[in-house]
Amino acid sequence: MNKKLTYIEIFAGAGGLSEGFIQASFFPVAHIEMDKYASLTLKTRMAHHYLKKSGKITLYYEYLRGNINREHLYSHIPEYFLSSIINEEIRKDNLNEVFERIDLIMKKNNIGQIDVILGGPPCQSYSLVGRARDPYGMEKDPRNYLYKLYAEFLKKFRPEIFVFENVPGLLSAGKGKLWEDIKKHFLNAGYHVDYKILNAYDFGVLQNRKRIIVIGWKKEVNLKYPEFKKDSMVKNYRVADILSDLPQLKPGEGTVTGDYTRDASEYLKKYKIRKNEDILTLHIARRHNERDRMIYRFCIETWIKKKRRPKYDDLPEYLKTHRNRNVFKDRFKIVAPDLPYSQTIVSHLAKDGHYFIHPDINQLRSISMREAARFQSFPDDFYFEGPMTAIFKQIGNAVPPLMASNIAFKIKEMLT
């Protein structure tokens, strides 16, 4: 098959899924994302891909170095390419408007068919943690029903295949009735579906991150869910391989652009997270008060001496400030350097970094934005737009690109 394979991503976030599909040579027709900072991140990444393909990638690195501003960068990108990023909330009352914008993009690019639709609606309402924090178990959360709008995209654009990503809690939400309803809506839209719970670690991501990956295909097509081969090399690496070449930081330190302190680890090179021409960006640590840093020291020392992550109640009494000590007992957690993977990177990083304490006792801080992005397998040349809280949220919500590219190549096999 020589024709250009196309996709639309809805609820796109920062574009982790999209990054994987671009690596598999799919063409992005449109991304729909309601968050303004994530939309800017998508535009900047599309600028990167366009300039790389055009042989003008040095212009992108000029932007990363701060030598030109974002407006200057975007001025070198065709308007039709940037307009593929649609910064809109997907709602029932604006669906036709969004559809019209996508139709116009398809017409301008002479695209007659959408091959794949991607996306995962916001997952907080499906997550077990989210339900635990909500007195109604998030039963009344309108985000529970965004799959109905997803089905409308399927009816409108009739892709051959779609990929729907979410947290495993989706299966148990509403005592399983929600998942049954989702399947019914996809079936009514004309698609057979199957799913598996996949772990990003099995694709080379140094993180314990399980996600439900739903794949659907047209009823009239004889397809089945693909078999994914586990990465046999990832077991040779450790969390320290993510961190070893980055400068030490104190809380609140770091710059938008900086330098590496040593050569890239074998892991970073093998999985193309850091390349020779890369510039270190967004290696900035959040601020912490003195009590938190004392807790961080205790957690690091406990790991060093006992290879154990202490619970909140294990802390010295003078460091405990929370009355309720029975909830979120592991609210302080070290990212252990000698383990094969980190804990799951989550969007809560936008609020505090207590669950992601850097293992170096000389730094006493939580992980930086770039470190979080690496644990998600984003390459170092992937630049996130927005303030720190917005960037951590984008990173935590994303599909790891290494995982996404493996899915994309399997979807490509199904299509061809």
CA 403 to chain centre: 10
Are 250 and 60 spatial neighbours (Cβ–Cβ below 8 Å)?
no
Catalytic residue among 12, 30, 105, 123: 123
- In our burial notation (b when 16+ CB lie closer than 10 A, e otherwise), range 264-299 reads bbebbeebebbeeebebbbbbbbebeeebbbbbebb
The CA distance from 157 to 11, in Å, is: 16
CA 255 to chain centre: 23
* End-to-end CA separation in angstroms for the chain: 6
Cα dihedral sign for 143, 148, 151, 156? negative
The CA distance from 36 to 354, in Å, is: 27
Cα dihedral sign for 298, 303, 308, 309? positive
Q: Please indicate whether residue 299 is annotated as part of the active site.
A: no
Alpha-carbon distance values, 394 to 223, 232, 272 (Å):
33, 29, 21
Which residues does the annotation mark as catalytic? Answer: 123
